[in-house]
Amino acid sequence: MTHPTRRQWLLATTTLPWLAAPAAAQALDHSHAAWTALLKKHVVLLRGGQASQVRYAGMATDRPALKAYLASLSAVDAAAFAGFGKAQQMAFLINAYNAFTVELILGKYPGLASIKDLGSLLSNPWKPKWIPLLGQTLSLDDIEHGRLRARGRYDDPRIHFAVNCASIGCPMLREEAFTGDRLDAQLAEQTRRFMSDRTRNRWDTAGGRLQVSKIFDWYGEDFRLGHQGIASLPAFLAAHADLLADAPADRVRIRSAQVPIGFLDYDWALNDAPSR
């Protein structure tokens, strides 16, 4: 598949209608109800809620509603954002990352098999700055790494189970928006869902080791920040032993935090669900 040049990328993104004419600033709906409506309509839960796929064809039909929601996010300036509570800020950023990722996919859909098809030899789809947010033009990397993962700001590794990169290997796109008043419970549930998914995290009885998502390899340092008293990746995995193994003896071994850890290959295939 032909990759767009950086010039083509910039032309495509800077001519989007919701970029050309930002919505007038107004109070943000912290319930993110418009995003929840789209998610409930187009997200399909798999394996009892451990994973999900997205009906991008349906999202494309409802793209005007998505653009309206994105415009409401773009209308929030830095000063307004600074006045949000910490949980409201995190919910805003997670929802923004996920919703702008869907918009990114729709810009090429159905002509792509992976979000990586949107990259080029010189860049990847997370680096271009095309997102009007908080009075700046940001990239997806800016939202995730520059803000959600910024040291001393939130220091919550559970964001890795909430942001969705439109890929099968990624933690599920939640079927509702994140909200400040429920954020802790939502992140806890996202963590349980991901850790209980044996296609991505499991105890290998024959090999006597844990096999976990590549996410833990890429972002292992985020699990050493002391969130909820956990200061290492082995300790985090030990705390979820009951989700990673069935046999009591295996769970005991995992809880020791002394077992070998291997990382599974990441599936970058698009998390596309068949249309109804």
CA distances from 159 to 54, 77, 93, 103, 142 (A): 20, 22, 10, 20, 14
Give just the sign of the alpha carbon dihedral 167, 152, 73, 84: positive
Domain membership flag for residue 66:
yes
- Tell me what pLDDT residue 28 has: 96
Range with the poorest average pLDDT among 11-20, 74-83, 179-188, 200-209 = 11-20
pLDDT greater than 90 at residue 166: yes
269 or 2, higher pLDDT: 269
pLDDT greater than 70 at residue 146: yes
- Tell me what pLDDT residue 26 has: 62
Of the three residues 195, 229, 249, the one that is the final residue of a domain is 195
- Tell me what pLDDT residue 220 has: 97
Residues 136, 32: Cα–Cα separation, whole Å: 21
**pTM, to two decimals:** 0.91
Domain membership flag for residue 276:
no
Domain membership flag for residue 269:
no
The model's pLDDT over 36-66, given as tens digits with 9 standing for 90+, comes to 999 999 999 999 999 999 999 999 999 999 9
Same domain, yes or no, for 225 and 131?
no
Work out the angle at residue 87's Cα, subtended by the Cα atoms of residues 138 and 25, and round it to the nearest 5 degrees. 50
Question: How buried is 92 (Cβ within 10 angstroms: 0-12 exposed, 13-18 middle, 19+ buried)?
Answer: buried
Q: Of all helices (H) and strands (E), which one includes residue 203?
A: strand 202-204
The model's pLDDT over 254-267, given as tens digits with 9 standing for 90+, comes to 999 999 999 999 99
- Tell me what pLDDT residue 253 has: 98
Same domain, yes or no, for 49 and 182?
yes
The model's pLDDT over 59-98, given as tens digits with 9 standing for 90+, comes to 999 999 999 999 999 999 999 999 999 999 999 999 999 9
Q: Which one-letter DSSP state was computed for residue 117?
A: G
Of the three residues 195, 228, 246, the one that is the final residue of a domain is 195
Q: Say if residues 76 and 132 touch (Cβ distance below 8 Å).
A: no
What is the span of the domain harbouring residue 160? Answer: 6-195
Main-chain dihedrals φ then ψ at residue 168, nearest 5 degrees: -60, -40
Of the three residues 195, 227, 252, the one that is the final residue of a domain is 195
Residues paired with 202 in a beta bridge: 211
pLDDT greater than 50 at residue 185: yes
Domain membership flag for residue 124:
yes
- Tell me what pLDDT residue 14 has: 42
Tell me the mean pLDDT in the region 146-162. Answer: 98
Tally the domains of the chain: 2
- Tell me what pLDDT residue 18 has: 47
Same domain, yes or no, for 96 and 71?
yes
